[in-house]
């Protein structure tokens, strides 16, 4: 019962991240917001993992260190910068739905790069997912490319593709190394690889209370609390039983965004969201011997 309660609470928190990102973007650029989020989260997570695993933290060879740097760049600095840019141009509801397509991209990239099988069930899930995506982006309009959120929606799809690449590379590493250690190093290298972008984007110290609330919400609740709860649950439940909670995020986001951002969940977005999540669910259920990071 405790695990179920904590997972539901975590899904609400992660759902709330989409509106909070939009609040943070009022004052900060996407690059600055991403940097501040991980500047808060990374030291706490890294210290926690270092205390827990001690000498194992440095147990990597040269090739594995390069992979960790790649994971940090793709899974932290690039992933969240693109996601935050996307949310400047799309709604929190659309973002929470479209980010889930990473599972579909993982299936496609695994087929193209790793020769993993795409069976009929998985192909059906991919097709249903893309139909849902088209309905979400178009919001039921025939003039697909006239959607006011098109740029942000496409960037959110790109974000899903980046996450898929991160996952495939990360999967090879966590088959040999502890996932918590890998995640901690990815956080650290991700934070460091954001810094060069700040030279172009101009570093800014937040001044508004709502901006700090956004940073602390994402850094402490979404990253640190989320990390602890997620692995606490994975240690005690089967991965499939834990992962299924992810599908609740778009629903929770729609409710939170309605009250905080006055966003409306139209019937077309609801149908498109349902089909997208259904497609993702079918793809996930048809996977054979896969792992996530």
Residue 12 has pLDDT above 70, yes or no: yes
| Tens digit of each residue's pLDDT (9 = 90 or more) over 237-284 | 877 678 788 989 999 999 999 999 999 999 999 999 999 999 999 988
Amino acid 244: pLDDT: 83
Burial of 272 (0-12, 13-18, 19+ CB in 10 A): buried
Amino acid 171: pLDDT: 83
Q: Is 25 strand, coil or helix?
A: coil
Cβ 170 vs Cβ 182: under 8 Å = yes
Mean pLDDT of the region 150-176: 91
Amino acid 144: pLDDT: 63
| Tens digit of each residue's pLDDT (9 = 90 or more) over 27-75 | 999 999 999 999 999 999 999 999 999 889 999 999 999 999 999 999 9
Residue 117 has pLDDT above 90, yes or no: no
What is the C-alpha to C-alpha distance for residues 133 and 129, in angstroms, rounded to an integer?
6
Q: Which residue has the higher pLDDT, 111 or 85?
A: 85
| Tens digit of each residue's pLDDT (9 = 90 or more) over 67-109 | 999 999 999 999 999 999 999 999 999 999 999 888 899 889 8
- pTM for the full predicted model: 0.90
User: 143 — alpha (psi -120 to 50), left (phi > 0) or beta?
Assistant: beta
Residue 116 has pLDDT above 90, yes or no: no
Written in H, E and C, the secondary structure of 137-154 is HHCCCCCHHHCCCHHHHH
What is the C-alpha to C-alpha distance for residues 117 and 276, in angstroms, rounded to an integer?
21
What is the C-alpha to C-alpha distance for residues 176 and 135, in angstroms, rounded to an integer?
40
Token pair, residue 71, equals 């994971």
Q: Which of 59-68, 80-89, 141-150, 188-197 has the lowest mean pLDDT?
A: 141-150
Residue 293 has pLDDT above 60, yes or no: no
Percent of the chain with pLDDT over 70: 96
Residue 204 has pLDDT above 70, yes or no: yes
Amino acid 288: pLDDT: 42
Residue 205 has pLDDT above 60, yes or no: yes
């Amino acid at each position: 019962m405790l695990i179920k309660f904590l997972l539901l609470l975590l899904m609400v928190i992660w759902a709330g991240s989409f509106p909070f990102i939009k609040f943070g973007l009022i004052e900060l650029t996407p690059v600055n917001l991403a940097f501040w989020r991980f500047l808060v989260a990374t030291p706490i997570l890294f210290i926690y993992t270092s205390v827990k695993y001690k000498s194992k933290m440095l147990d990597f060879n040269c090739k594995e260190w390069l992979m960790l740097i790649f994971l940090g760049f793709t899974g932290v600095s690039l992933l969240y910068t693109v996601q935050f840019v996307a949310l400047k141009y799309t709604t929190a509801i659309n973002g929470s739905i479209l980010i889930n397509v990473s599972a579909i991209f993982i299936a496609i990239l695994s087929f193209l790069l790793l020769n993993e099988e795409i069976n009929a069930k998985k192909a059906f899930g991919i097709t249903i997912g893309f139909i849902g995506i088209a309905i979400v982006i178009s919001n039921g309009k025939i003039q697909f490319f006239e959607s006011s959120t098109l740029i942000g929606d496409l960037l959110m799809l790109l974000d899903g593709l980046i996450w898929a690449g991160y996952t495939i590379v990360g999967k090879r590493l966590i088959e040999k190394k502890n996932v918590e250690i890998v995640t901690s190093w990815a956080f650290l290298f991700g934070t460091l690889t954001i810094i060069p972008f700040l030279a172009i984007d101009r570093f800014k110290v937040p001044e508004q209370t709502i901006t700090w609330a956004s940073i602390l919400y994402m850094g402490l609740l979404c990253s640190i609390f989320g990390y602890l709860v997620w692995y606490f649950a994975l240690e005690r439940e089967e991965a499939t039983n834990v992962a299924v909670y992810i599908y609740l995020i778009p629903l929770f986001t729609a409710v939170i965004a309605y009250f905080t951002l006055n966003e409306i969940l139209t019937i077309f977005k609801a149908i498109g969201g349902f089909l997208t999540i259904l497609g993702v669910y079918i793809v996930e259920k048809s996977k054979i011997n896969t792992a996530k990071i």
